[in-house]
Amino acid sequence: MGDERRALVLGGGGITGIAWMYGLVAGLAAHGVDLSRADLVVGTSAGSVVGANLAAGRDPQALLETQLAPPSGEVAANLGVWQAARIGIAALAGPRQAQLVRARIGRLALAADTVPETERIAVMRSRLGDADWPTGRDLRITAVDAHTGAFRAFGRDDGVPLVTVVAASCAVPGIWPPVTAAGTRWIDGGARSMANADLAAGYGRVVVLAPLTGGFGAATPPGVQAEALAAASEVAFVEPDRRARQAFGRNTLDPARRAPAARAGRAQAADAAAAVARVWV
């Protein structure tokens, strides 16, 4: 099926999603499954942070340990009921064309009262350190144009700093500010799909880690995209188990849930290792 190239798809899921994926990747490595060997890494929102650090060659166990330390420099955020309702209406009302729906969500994001853009980029820099676009593999970070709803998967050749692109991919509408790059402003790549796993089409071996399995309005769920890929590729799809969902709590943007989510991901790796290894190793 397909070729032998490997693609790692990392989906959105907030602070808890980052922690869960770090725990899962570290746990899988301990079981002999090294996801950092991917030829293509696709990162969306939380997955953009994880993907950037893995593509930079960071040790999975060291990344896990950053999640177990007391959170600092991160503030809890939550989408208010009114703002959530407005985004929900924007995602559902009117024409069903996906790009128009994303543009509506983008307009709400542009009008929202949030922290300054520079503050969010500083947070991303603290998460990435000196990580830069890799040269030995293809890293793709997803974002959506806040003005037009157009989708884009940024790569090294686009000439935009990695920290800026990651901040854009993590710009949750209504919570964090759209990020300026390439002549426009960008919001969370999850506005198109929580994983954008279809970008891995053509790769023979695909692993999808999906902290969140739903999406905005008409966005295609990660599981559906994984099923479509399985028609031509070997695919392993991993979503949080019951213990991980409990660890996430009700707010995936709460730094206090980071360590429990990381431990849950590390524990889940024992159950997921065999299925992932069949695809990856």
Active site residues: 45, 188
φ/ψ of 41, rounded to 5, equals -120, 125
What number of CA atoms fall less than 13 Å from residue 253's CA on the CB side?
A: 14
Going by their DSSP bridges, the two strands 40-43 and 138-145 should be labelled as: parallel
DSSP code at position 254: -
SS3 185: strand
| Dist. CA 84–CA 81, nearest whole Å | 5
E-strand spans in the chain? 6-10, 40-43, 138-145, 151-154, 179-181, 184-188, 205-209, 234-238
CA distance between the termini of the chain: 15
19's CB contacts (< 8 A; 6+ apart) are 67, 257, 258, 259, 261, 262, 265
Opening angle at CA 255, ends 249 and 257, nearest 5: 30
In what helix (H) or strand (E) does residue 108 lie, and over which residues does it extend? helix 98-111
The identity of residue 145, as a single letter, is D
